[in-house]
Structure 1
Amino acid sequence: MNTALNKNLFLVKEHVGMFKAANNFDIYDPESEAIVMECREESLGFLTKLFRFTSYKRMTPFDIQVKTADGEQVVRVKRGLSLFLSTVQVLDKDDRLIGQFKQKLFSLGGAFAVLDDQGTEVCKLKGKWTGWDFKFLAGETELAHVTKKWAGLGKELFTSADNYVLQISDSVPAEHVARRLILAAVMCIDMVLKE
C-alpha cells in the first residue's frame, strides 16, 4: 500500500467551479500544507456531463482515481448508473476489487456499509442529517471522522467548493485496507449522499 495513507489527518479540498461537471479534489497534509494525493474524474461521457447539471446528478455514474502527487494510483472509486440505492466499487492500484459501499435504506443523514472484497463489513458510515459530520464505526469503535470545514460564506454560496477534514484513528494500522476504503468513502459521501 502507498505510504501517502499512513498519516492520520487529511484536508480534502474540492476544486472551485461555477459550472463544472467533474468532481476533482486535492488532498493535503495539513502539517506541511503539501498536496499528498489528487482525486480526478477525468473521463466523463457527454450524457453524464449533461445530467450533472440536472436534478438527476445523484444518479449519474462516476469513476474517480485517487493518485499520489507523482501519479501512482492509490484507489479508484466507481459506480454505474444509480436509480435507487448506490453500490460503489473500490479498486486498488492494479484495478482489482478491494471493497465496496452499499447505501442503506431509510437512513437519516446518510449511511452506508463499507465492505471488503469478500463482502464482509469493515465498518459503517453514519452521518447526521443536520450537517456535514460523518463517522466510520466498527461496532462502537470510531475508525475515522469526517467534518466539513467551511471556506467562507460567500465562497460556499456562489460555488460548489467544499472542504473536508478526514481524521483516521491511531487504532487503524498503517497498512490496513480500511484506510483505503475510508479515503474512497470520503469521495462518495459528497457524490452519493450530499449532492
Structure 2
Amino acid sequence: MAWDTADQLIVKEHLGLFKAASNYDIYDLDSGEMVLECREPHLSWLTQALRFTDYRRMTPFDIHVTDMQGNLVVRVVRGISLFLSKVKVYDGEGALLGGFEQKLFSIGGAFNVHDEHGRTVCQLAGKWTGWEFKFTANGVELARVSKKWAGIHKEMFTTADSYALDVANNIPPESAIRKLILAAVLCIDMVLKE
C-alpha cells in the first residue's frame, strides 16, 4: 500500500518515559500496514538536553519521513524558535515544497501553510474546545487531524500520542499539498502539543 494514495492514516508516536527524539510510525488505516517511518536522526547533545526542560518547544528539529524501502519522502525542519515557529518542508530530493508559519493570535493553534514560493495554499486551525485540527482552503476542507486516545496508562505515564489523519480523496497522490499536510501533523505535535 502506498502512503500517498491512502485517505486515512494513523500517526503513532513512539512510547517513552525519557526520550529526546520524536519518532513516529504511520499506518494506513484500512490495511493496518505501516507505510512510513518518521525519525529525528541527527540531534545534537545540547538539543537532547533541552528536550527535557521547559525549553522543549523552542528546540530545533529535523524529522526525516521515509517509506518502507528507506527512501526519504519528506523532511521537516525548524531552527530554534523563540516566539513563533517557522517550519520548512522538503521533498525526498531536497527541493523545497513549502512550509508553515504559526499564527500569532490563535486560541486553538493555527498555521498558514505556504507553497515553495511563500504563497499561502491553505490554513491549519484547531479548536480550543477539543483536539481537532482542520486544513482548509477557500472554505473547503482538505484534511482533518484528530487525536486518538491511547488509554489512561499510556496518556498519564508517557508522552506518546496517536493521531488520525483524514485527507480529502480529491487531493492527487503526487500533490505537494498532500506532503505538506502529512508534515503538518508532525508539526502539530512538535510545536503545539509538546
TM-score scaled by length of structure 1: 0.97
Tell me the alpha carbon deviations over residues 16-56 of structure 1, each in whole angstroms, 9 at most, x when there is no partner: 00000000000001222111000001110011001101111
The one-letter amino acid paired with 1:123 is C
SS in 1 for 2:173: coil
2:134 aligns with 135
Q: 2:105 & 2:193 partners in 1: Cα distance?
A: 15
The one-letter amino acid paired with 2:79 is G
Q: 1:184 & 1:147 partners in 2: Cα distance?
A: 15
2:86 aligns with 87
1:49 aligns with 48
The one-letter amino acid paired with 2:175 is H
SS in 2 for 1:12: strand
Tell me the alpha carbon deviations over residues 59-89 of structure 1, each in whole angstroms, 9 at most, x when there is no partner: 0000000000110111000000000111000
Tell me which stretches of 4 or more aligned residues in structure 1 moved more than 3 Å: none
The one-letter amino acid paired with 2:110 is A
Structure 2: give runs of 5+ residues left out of the alignment. none
1:175 aligns with 174
The one-letter amino acid paired with 1:70 is Q
Q: 1:131 & 1:190 partners in 2: Cα distance?
A: 14
SS in 2 for 1:143: strand
Considering only aligned residues, what root-mean-square deviation do their CA atoms show, in Å? 1.1
Indicate yes or no: 2:187 matched with 1:184. no
Q: 1:57 & 1:127 partners in 2: Cα distance?
A: 21
1:194 aligns with 193
2:61 aligns with 62
Structure 1: give runs of 5+ residues left out of the alignment. none
| Aligned positions of 1:1-195 closer than 5 A | 3-195=2-194
Greater mean deviation of Cα atoms: 74-83 or 28-37: 28-37
SS in 1 for 2:164: strand
Q: 1:122 & 1:6 partners in 2: Cα distance?
A: 21
Displacement of 1:95 in angstroms is 1.2
Displacement of 1:102 in angstroms is 0.4
Q: 1:130 & 1:19 partners in 2: Cα distance?
A: 29
Q: 1:35 & 1:101 partners in 2: Cα distance?
A: 26
Displacement of 1:181 in angstroms is 0.2
Counting aligned pairs with the same residue, the percent is: 58
Displacement of 1:139 in angstroms is 1.6
